[in-house]
Amino acid sequence: MSIQQASDDQTTAPAHLWKVSVSPHLKSSESVEKIMWTVVACLVPPLILSVFVFGIQTLLITAVSVISCVVVEAVSQKTLGRPVTIKDGSAVLTGLLLAFVIPPGVSPLLPILAAVFAIYIGKHLLGGIGYNFFNPALLGRAFLLASFPVAMTSAWLSPVEGFGIFSYLAGSVDAVSTATPLAVMKEQGMAIFTETFGSGASLYGSFFLGWRPGCIGETSGFLLVLGGLYLIYRGYITWHIPASLLGSIAVLTWIFGGESYFSGDPLLALLSGGAILGAFYMATDYVTSPTTKTAQIIYGIGIGALTVLIRLKGGYPEGICYAILLMNPLSTVLDGWFKPKRFALPAGGAK
């Protein structure tokens, strides 16, 4: 039968154009793209704030990081013969997160190197999205920390005064380097810390809003929490990982973090060192975190405990990054232990 004949009564769409695929024929409107771009959008307010805190330099570092991640993703996929998926937003998100966890005062060369390491080696050589068992952004940061320890631990900027957002561009970065709160506390003790950053409500307030030295993304707890809550509201992440992670940091810091037991400052622990960024945006990364709820809670507690351990005993004040990287490969193991509960097994219990 010719198409002409076939279309006699199938007037508008001849049968050979119909799609014949397996059910279901309806799919939800969610997509990987939509999820990734939404997370990216949630990170924009803290980024904008960081411009006012540290100056326009943060925007520059972020742009370099995002662009290099996207370029590296495209090149990796091309050379490995895979479809190029830069439009799905996951490379943009990695770039953004990477910029958020490195000191804003570093040379733009660093995020470029980190992007190559994170995306090419950490993601695509391991099989691409879905198969990378380490969080790429954190992998990039760990790589930088190992290769450029000095820059990565000293290029912090003090919050700028007033609205002088361009002030750092003029002068030399090193001259104004300062130490992050956790480093101060660890190396110089609580007294100096209070002297430098204040104490009580004003301390919590300025930390929560973001007025303190740190990475771009760890500066504004308030905006990060807001974005995180929005992601929970949209159903893109659930409370399990952030709550168990932050909860365990708070409890363990309270118990072990002070001069004596039960005298630590849980609130300060939550507001410093990227805990919030890590809890809502890094530890919840789908690919590198467990999928069942019980496994997620254990995973969160594991990260929290390791964070506190690294902060108190290890050499790295901002412990959460390593804590997440250490737990990443365990997520498949946890998934294997805590499988979803089957509806009902065969009678007699035999599987």
Partner 1 sequence: MKSLLTFPKGGVHPPECKAQTQGLGIEIMPVPDELELILGQHIGAPCTATVAKRDEVIEGAVIGEVQKGLGVPLHSPVAGKIKNLATSVHAVRVSAPSITIEVDREAAPVQYQKVDWQQLAGADLLAKIHDAGIIGIGGAGFPTHVKLNPPADSPVDTLVLNGAECEPYITADHRQMLENPGQIVEGAKIILKILGITRCFIGIENNKPDAIREMTKAAEQASGGEYSITIQPLQVKYPQGSEKQLIQAITGRKVPAMALPSAVGVVVQNVTTAKAIYDAVVYGKPLYEKVVTIAGKGIARQANLQVKIGTKVRDIVKYLGGLQPGLAKVVMGGPMMGFAVSSLDVPVTKTTSAVLFLTEDEIDTKPHSQCIRCGWCLDACPMGLEPKEIGIYVEANRAQDTAQFGVFDCFECGSCAYVCPAKRPLVQFIRLAKMKAKRQ
* Residues in touch with partner 1 (CB under 8 A): 9-13, 15-28, 30-32, 34-35, 85, 88, 128-131, 286-287, 289-292, 339-347, 351
- Please state the closest distance from residue 310 (CB atom) to partner 1, in A: 26
Q: Using the minimum distance from each CB to partner 1, give the nearer residue, 241 or 308.
A: 241
- Please state the closest distance from residue 307 (CB atom) to partner 1, in A: 23
- Please state the closest distance from residue 159 (CB atom) to partner 1, in A: 37
Q: Using the minimum distance from each CB to partner 1, give the nearer residue, 30 or 195.
A: 30
- Please state the closest distance from residue 134 (CB atom) to partner 1, in A: 13
* Separation between Cα atoms, residue 133 and residue 21, nearest integer Å: 32
Q: Using the minimum distance from each CB to partner 1, give the nearer residue, 200 or 349.
A: 349
- Please state the closest distance from residue 76 (CB atom) to partner 1, in A: 14
Q: Using the minimum distance from each CB to partner 1, give the nearer residue, 300 or 319.
A: 300
Q: Using the minimum distance from each CB to partner 1, give the nearer residue, 194 or 291.
A: 291
- Please state the closest distance from residue 94 (CB atom) to partner 1, in A: 13
Q: Using the minimum distance from each CB to partner 1, give the nearer residue, 313 or 341.
A: 341
Q: Using the minimum distance from each CB to partner 1, give the nearer residue, 22 or 146.
A: 22
- Please state the closest distance from residue 318 (CB atom) to partner 1, in A: 26
| C-alpha distances out from residue 217 to 3, 33, 73, 251, Å | 60, 22, 22, 24
